[in-house]
């Protein structure tokens, strides 16, 4: 719950709404009753929604982001500008320029133009201008200051936007909705709370009501900024404590540091010894491999030589035995030829007498 109580809201006139004929039906859940043709806002729901809005604002400020405040109504200009300036947040209390959010690049160009004129006054370029140019630049600077002076430090789009009277600031609300920027607003009975992400049902016309709501919102933002600052300081203190503890440890334990230095000095020698042992092992292994290969090669050469000797001996033996074998083969061939001739002669001797007898038997009948 907020730090406000029911009586404080009641005294500030936060509960007064508009005439019945001007009401928006979407505000029905937030209206308590109608009295003398005027709607009365339910302050219990106002306190609940104000708590939700303050909690969300605190988280935004804690994250280091900016919230843009928009209030161009006469009764809200001074109230918003005074309170928002203290917490260093951007605000718009003059005319809302169309496209201030959706066309933010052009807005930044106008802000840079204003900063350029200020730079000319500082570096001496302003003195080189004639009277007419100075007058033109001065008027241009005043015009830009009136419109964009309060958002000159807003280098990027805001994380949220707070609006007083969404009917009057409908352009700003439409641009924020288009860019999906979270919206906070004071919503009266003639407004549509469904268009706002965090509506605060309250009287947006009375200066006391606006002052009370703005005080609570600015208080939540200041608390968020304070928490962010404490977190940063806590982190810095922790880092400084760690560094001081490290210094104390180094001062208390010089022996440990000396041992580490000795260890660092000894480590290279040990590493060198290990490298030497590894190299010697590799050399020994290579020597053994070469000796084994030489033995194997010698055995192969001996085997080849012995094989050649055996082959030569076999060839000599065959050469010595060959004449006798050749003679035997010649004798067998000659005997086979002689036998063949003898068989042929015998056959011819047997066939000849038979042929002679046949001739005689054929020739005898012719002699009569």
Reported confidence tier of residue 98, pLDDT bands at 50, 70, 90: confident
Number of domains in the chain: 3
Judge whether 264 lies within some domain: yes
Both 272 and 287 in one domain: the answer is yes
Judge whether 325 lies within some domain: yes
Determine phi and psi for 278, rounding to 5 degrees: -65, -40
- Higher per-residue confidence, 274 vs 231: 231
Both 220 and 278 in one domain: the answer is no
Cα angle, residue 229 at apex, residues 225 and 235 outer, rounded to 5°: 145
The pairing of strands 31-35 and 183-187 is unpaired
- The per-residue pLDDT for range 331-364, each reduced to its tens digit, is 566 456 655 666 545 645 554 454 444 444 444 4
- The per-residue pLDDT for range 58-97, each reduced to its tens digit, is 999 999 899 999 999 998 999 999 999 999 999 999 888 8
Both 112 and 79 in one domain: the answer is no
Please say whether the beta carbons of 194 and 28 come within 8 A. Answer: no
Q: Rounded distance, CA 363 to CA 367, Å?
A: 8
Both 127 and 205 in one domain: the answer is no
Both 62 and 14 in one domain: the answer is yes
Both 271 and 316 in one domain: the answer is yes
Please say whether the beta carbons of 175 and 102 come within 8 A. Answer: yes
DSSP codes joined into one string, 201-262: ES-SS-HHHHHHHHHHHHHHHHHHHHHHHHHHHHHHHHHHHHHHHHHHHHHH-HHHHHHHHH
- Residue ranges making up the domain that contains 70: 6-101+157-237
Both 186 and 305 in one domain: the answer is no
> What's CA 217's distance to the chain center, in Å?
37
Rounded mean pLDDT, 247-268:
45
Where is 20: in which H helix or E strand?
Answer: none
Give the rounded percent of residues in the chain with a pLDDT score beyond 90.
37
- The per-residue pLDDT for range 288-302, each reduced to its tens digit, is 566 645 655 556 644
**Pair of tokens at residue 328:** 């035997």
| Out of 1-10, 137-146, 271-280, least confident range | 271-280
Please say whether the beta carbons of 81 and 93 come within 8 A. Answer: yes
Both 96 and 113 in one domain: the answer is no
Query: Is 0.75 topped by the overall pTM?
Result: no
């Amino acid at each position: 719950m907020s730090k406000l109580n029911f009586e404080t809201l009641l005294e500030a006139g936060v509960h007064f709404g508009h005439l019945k004929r001007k009401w928006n039906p979407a505000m029905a859940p937030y209206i308590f009753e109608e009295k003398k043709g005027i709607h009365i806002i339910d302050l219990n729901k106002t306190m609940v929604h104000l708590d939700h809005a303050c909690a969300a604002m605190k988280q935004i400020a804690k994250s280091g982001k900016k919230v843009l405040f928009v209030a161009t109504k006469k009764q809200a200009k001074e109230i918003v500008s005074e309170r928002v300036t203290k917490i260093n947040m951007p605000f718009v209390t003059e005319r809302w320029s169309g496209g201030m959010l959706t066309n933010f690049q052009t807005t930044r160009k106008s802000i840079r133009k204003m900063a350029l004129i200020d730079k000319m006054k500082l570096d001496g370029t302003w003195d080189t201008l004639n009277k007419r140019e100075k007058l033109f630049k001065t008027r241009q600077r005043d015009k830009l200051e009136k419109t964009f002076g309060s958002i000159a430090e807003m280098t990027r789009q805001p994380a949220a936007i707070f609006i007083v009277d969404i009917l009057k600031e409908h352009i700003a609300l439409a641009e924020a909705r288009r860019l999906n920027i979270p919206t906070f607003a004071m919503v009266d009975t003639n407004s549509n709370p469904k268009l706002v992400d965090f509506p605060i049902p309250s009287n947006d016309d009375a200066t006391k009501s606006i002052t009370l709501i703005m005080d609570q919102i600015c208080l939540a933002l200041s608390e968020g900024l304070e928490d962010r600052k404490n977190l940063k300081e806590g982190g810095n203190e922790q880092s400084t404590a760690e560094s001081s503890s490290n210094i104390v440890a180094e001062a208390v334990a010089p022996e440990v540091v000396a041992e580490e230095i000795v260890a660092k000095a000894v480590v290279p020698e040990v590493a060198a010894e290990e490298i030497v042992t590894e190299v010697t092992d590799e050399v020994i292994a290579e020597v053994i491999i070469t000796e084994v290969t030489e033995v194997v090669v010698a055995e192969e050469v001996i085997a080849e030589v012995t094989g050649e000797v055996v082959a030569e001996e076999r060839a000599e033996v065959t050469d010595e035995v060959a004449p006798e074998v050749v003679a035997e083969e010649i004798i067998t061939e000659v005997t086979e030829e002689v036998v063949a001739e003898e068989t042929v002669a015998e056959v011819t001797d047997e066939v000849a007498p038979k042929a002679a007898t046949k001739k005689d038997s054929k020739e005898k009948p012719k002699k009569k």
